[in-house]
Amino acid sequence: MKVEFTAAQIAALLGGKVEGDPEAKVWNVARIEDGAPGMLSFLSNPKYIHYLYDTKSTIVLVNADFEPTEKVTTTMIRVPNAYESFAQLLAIYQEYTNNKVGISDNAFISADAEYGENCYIGAFAFIGERVKIGKNVKIYPQCYIGDDVVIGDNTVVYAGAKLYAMTHIGKECIIHAGAVLGADGFGFVPQPDGTYKKIPQIGNVLVGNNVEIGANTTIDRSTMESTKIHDGVKLDNLIQIAHNVEVGENTAMAAQTGIAGSAHVGKNCVIAGQVGISGHLSIADRTIIGPQSGLTKGTKEPGTTIMGYPAYDYTKFMKDTARMRNINRLEEKVTELEKKLNELLSK
């Protein structure tokens, strides 16, 4: 379905001012350099200004203080911040196009499950016993919602996600396709005969408000009590969070990161891709961890930036890396000096 918006409508939504044709219509978005008729673009980076003068996009968002130096043929909408306004517009568009409501006849909902008004539950979704689902929640097809799960208002659970029993999800969350929350933690006791005895995992997963969990990310239930993901956390795709882990508010974590059991990650941390964090470590608030780092010990000072394996101060790591690039040349120099020294000693 093609949904069209005029420049006047967009300006009204964003509190902007139209320069050009207020009836100009768009139905999709594009980068300013790849513009085409019917597309909406934005300009915020000065490096891209030259594209504005020959872009084919019908409408371009620009900063309110922008002053063109050449003739602009496209319709401009002046807004306080073009980048933020573009993101706001995308959110509005997504909400509009994803505004599904209704319960599929092919969904299974237990008799004692509860759900609020304006919910969407897609085909072949399974809703277990004593589940409580808030208002405006969207559960896409083939989701599994286990017994005693709680899902807060305005949360979206995309197709194929699995929420094991007793998982609690807050308000305004997004759970992407294939995510698994509440599977057993990896707990086993070695036996004298070399086998392993499973430790029952009887806790759950608690997810706060305004959390986003990427596709195929897994968060294990705790052995006892709860694995906790606090408000505002953003998790990328393909992340593994083990049992009893706690992730503090507004921490962002990139793909393929793995956090071992009982680790504690502080607030407002930034963790790049493919980071490994050993079990039972504590990571201080506002820690930044570079990509492919491995942590064998925690951080105590808030605001620390670390990288490498084992991870240590980022500045020192970069200096050491630069030195390593010259290691062959250094070896050749040392060999040459040894040769000269031996020649002098032989005389």
pLDDT digits (tens, 9 = 90+) for 75-115: 999 999 999 999 998 888 877 777 889 999 999 999 999 99
- At 195-217, the pLDDT tens digits run 999 999 999 999 999 999 999 99
- Taking Cα atoms as reference points, which of 74, 64, 130, 139 lies closest to residue 107? 139
Please tell me the distance from the alpha carbon of residue 151 to that of residue 91, in angstroms, as a whole number: 22
Residue 259, Ramachandran bin (φ over 0: left; ψ between -120 and 50: alpha; else beta): beta
Mean pLDDT, residues 171-200 taken together:
97
Confidence at residue 1, expressed as pLDDT on a 0 to 100 scale: 55
Confidence at residue 343, expressed as pLDDT on a 0 to 100 scale: 83
Confidence of residue 344 (pLDDT cuts 50, 70, 90): confident
Site of tokens 């319960």: 103
Average pLDDT across the chain, whole number:
95
Q: Is the pLDDT of residue 181 over 80?
A: yes
Asked, colleague to colleague, whether 5-97 and 102-317 share their fold, the answer is no
Domain boundaries, the chain: 5-97, 102-317
- At 222-261, the pLDDT tens digits run 999 999 999 999 999 999 999 999 999 999 999 999 999 9
**Which residues belong to the active site?**
243
Site of tokens 């992730």: 247
Residue 14, Ramachandran bin (φ over 0: left; ψ between -120 and 50: alpha; else beta): alpha
Q: Which CATH superfamily is domain 5-97 in?
A: MurE/MurF, N-terminal domain (3.40.1390.10)
- Residues 212 and 151 sit within 8 Å (Cβ to Cβ): no
Confidence at residue 63, expressed as pLDDT on a 0 to 100 scale: 96
Give the count of alpha carbons within 13 A of 294, CB side only: 3
CATH code for residues 102-317? 2.160.10.10
**DSSP element (H, E) containing 341:** helix 327-346
- At 126-160, the pLDDT tens digits run 999 999 999 999 999 999 999 999 999 999 999 99
Confidence at residue 291, expressed as pLDDT on a 0 to 100 scale: 97
- Residues 58 and 25 sit within 8 Å (Cβ to Cβ): yes
Q: Is the pLDDT of residue 325 over 90?
A: no
Confidence of residue 333 (pLDDT cuts 50, 70, 90): confident
Q: Is the pLDDT of residue 302 over 80?
A: yes
